[in-house]
Structure 1
Amino acid sequence: MDCNEARPLLDANADHELPAPDAHRVQQHIDSCDACRRESENLRALSESLRAAPYHRAPESLRTRILAGLPETDDAVSASRAPTGAAVKPPPRQPRWRTWLDSWLNGGHGPQGDFGGSGAAVGANRLIAQGWLTALVVALCAVAAGVTLSLRRPAEFAPFADELVESHVRAQVSGRDIDVISTDRHTVKPWFNGRLDYSPPVEDLAASGFALEGGRLDYLAHQRVAVLVYRYRKHVIDVYVFPQAGSGDTGTGRGAGSAAPATLAREGYSISHWNSEGMTWWAITDAAPDALSGLEAALKARLQGGSERTEGG
């Protein structure tokens, strides 16, 4: 990120309004640019000064003048224009069901008269009402909990999915989408030696329609990762692979996605995730999702067939 990209984002960054990936990129630029760092510090100082400024309540005279300048409501206008002594239109009546409910909850004593309720009836009605209200509250809490749980899991992976899309797009537009160009897995796999602290499995899936084109290094979720580049018809598929972490991982670091949804759609890109052979795999492409399903099946079949072992890596 350069100054032209960072400057428009400094304001939002100072107020902590940027998504985590953007905030991280902006902060990286600020740390390396004196001019943007000074601008960021000035914005933060201004923001803190505004928050620390004393609060002055508006005088009552100002409130009175504002209210006096507001247009009158229809009811007030009708009342002011009505002849002296004329009856003013009463407010609309409550719906019958609301009046009946209010009366029933009061044990039969309400605006519609006595339902013949005794003290025991009053107590019984109130107990029934409390029971219904309790059941209603429990039901609403259950619904809210279900909605929260169903929405929470995809949201947990939103920052990681956004970073995945950014990495894929950045590689395509920069022209540096492949560091080692080769269709030979015995060339691509050794290239990662010394560049990573793990050895990624590399398979040639051309027989299944997914031709290996090479690989590259990328930086994702604060770590170096291996990216295998495949070609499916006219579509590029980037496959990110790194060691699988423990079951408690949430999808934002090494082993990302052990509890992540298997498929995602993000900004027109298809994203797929799975674990296999002690590795976590994330694949992204602009092709249809079934392309990733086919690649996953072909890759798992090759790995389970033991090609890494039988061919000597």
Structure 2
Amino acid sequence: MRCEDALIQISAAVDRELDPARAVKLHDHLETCPTCRAADEQMRVLSSTLRTSLTQYELPAGMAARMRATALATPTLVTSTTPRWVPRASKFAALAASWLLAAYVGMWVALPHMSSDDQLVAAHSRSLQANHLIDVASSDRHTVKPWFADKLSFSPPVVEVDGYQLIGGRLDVLDGKPAAAIVYKRRLHTINLFAAAATPGTTKLSTSVRNGLSLVHWRADGMQMTLVSDINQNELVDLAHALGAR
């Protein structure tokens, strides 16, 4: 399966709308493709967020009955080489589907996208699950950095820093685009350095806190970079400076 096909089918799989044959093929692809697997995980986080945070509404009283009455009132002639009548049940199903489609589109128009900080926190949290932290395990930057070379259109920074143990890297997805995650350990804390392609330019270091996690952001060398961890924010800022942030 190609990544392009997998990315199209992930949403249907999360909603359990994929037939068994395609589901098996997608599962096999996700087992061997870190980029698509990260996209699948991100979609599942988004789906869970929607289910728990969106307000649910019931149809106004009598609307379902009116929809059914409208659908069953008169048959509809379908123009084709041989005129035929649409069965009443099929017409009702089509009308119901159109209402659902309108509601679905409306939901997405009204739904605010996850903020950058929320995506980064979600990606960090996903990485702490079993077997999700690293795709390439090494404390040698000469091993980790080349691993990204044929997987990304940019070259993420991989630096060995005293007091912060480099343990490897992985591919992730941010804003629907591939990103690098370089992973460090400090004592018992895991630190993710996320690097994603960005417009040229340099921005000064900035910090934020989200869900008990510290984030340190900066932009340089055509990349947006963010450190995320539950470590003391001052230690995270020290690492950012060691990585070249100003």
TM bucket (normalised to shorter chain) is: 0.5 to 0.7
Structure 2 vs 1, CA of residues 234 and 13 (structure 1 numbering), >3 Å: closer, same or farther?
same
Secondary structure of 1:201's counterpart equals: coil
The structure with higher relative contact order (CA 8 Å, sep 6+) is: 2
Structure 2 vs 1, CA of residues 47 and 261 (structure 1 numbering), >3 Å: closer, same or farther?
farther
Q: Which residue of 2 aligns with 1:309?
A: none
Give runs of aligned pairs for residues 132-143 of structure 1, distance below 5 A. Answer: none
Query: Aligned pair 1:9/2:9, yes or no?
Result: no
Q: Which amino acid aligns with 2:117?
A: A
Partner deviation per Cα, 1:231-289 (whole Å, 9 max, x = no partner):
11110010011334146xxxxxxxxxx77981110001001101234432111001121
- Please, which runs of 5 or more residues in structure 1 have no aligned partner? 16-40, 50-155, 248-257, 305-313
1:233 to 187, 199, 202: 187
Contact 2:180 2:194 in 1 (8 A): yes
Q: Which amino acid aligns with 1:222?
A: G
Contact 2:203 2:219 in 1 (8 A): no
Count of aligned residue pairs for this structure pair: 160
Contact 2:200 2:220 in 1 (8 A): no
Q: Which residue of 1 aligns with 2:171?
A: 217
Contact 1:189 1:202 in 2 (8 A): yes
1:265 to 204, 209, 224: 209
Q: Which residue of 2 aligns with 1:140?
A: none
Query: Aligned pair 1:276/2:232, yes or no?
Result: no
Contact 2:203 2:220 in 1 (8 A): no
In 1, the alpha carbon distance for the partners of 2:56 and 2:121 equals 25
In 1, the alpha carbon distance for the partners of 2:208 and 2:239 equals 16
| TM-score normalized by the length of structure 1 | 0.44
Q: Which residue of 1 aligns with 2:152?
A: 196
Query: Aligned pair 1:245/2:199, yes or no?
Result: yes
Range with bigger deviation, 169-178 or 265-274: 169-178
1:45 to 96, 99, 118: 99
Deviation at 1:12, TM superposition (A): 4.3
Q: Which residue of 2 aligns with 1:160?
A: 116
In 2, the alpha carbon distance for the partners of 1:274 and 1:162 equals 17
Higher Rg: 1
Instruction: Work out the percentage of aligned pairs sharing the same amino acid.
Output: 33
- Please, which runs of 5 or more residues in structure 2 have no aligned partner? 1-12, 17-43, 58-94, 104-111
Contact 2:179 2:196 in 1 (8 A): yes
Identify the structure with the greater strand proportion.
2
Q: Which residue of 2 aligns with 1:84?
A: none
Q: Which amino acid aligns with 1:241?
A: A
Q: Which amino acid aligns with 1:240?
A: F
In 1, the alpha carbon distance for the partners of 2:212 and 2:231 equals 9
Secondary structure of 1:169's counterpart equals: helix
Secondary structure of 2:118's counterpart equals: helix
| TM-score normalized by the length of structure 2 | 0.55
Q: Which residue of 2 aligns with 1:172?
A: 128
Structure 2 vs 1, CA of residues 198 and 43 (structure 1 numbering), >3 Å: closer, same or farther?
same
Partner deviation per Cα, 1:152-184 (whole Å, 9 max, x = no partner):
xxxx99711111111111111243110000000
In 2, the alpha carbon distance for the partners of 1:231 and 1:239 equals 11
Structure 2 vs 1, CA of residues 189 and 266 (structure 1 numbering), >3 Å: closer, same or farther?
same
Q: Which amino acid aligns with 1:182?
A: S
Contact 1:14 1:43 in 2 (8 A): no
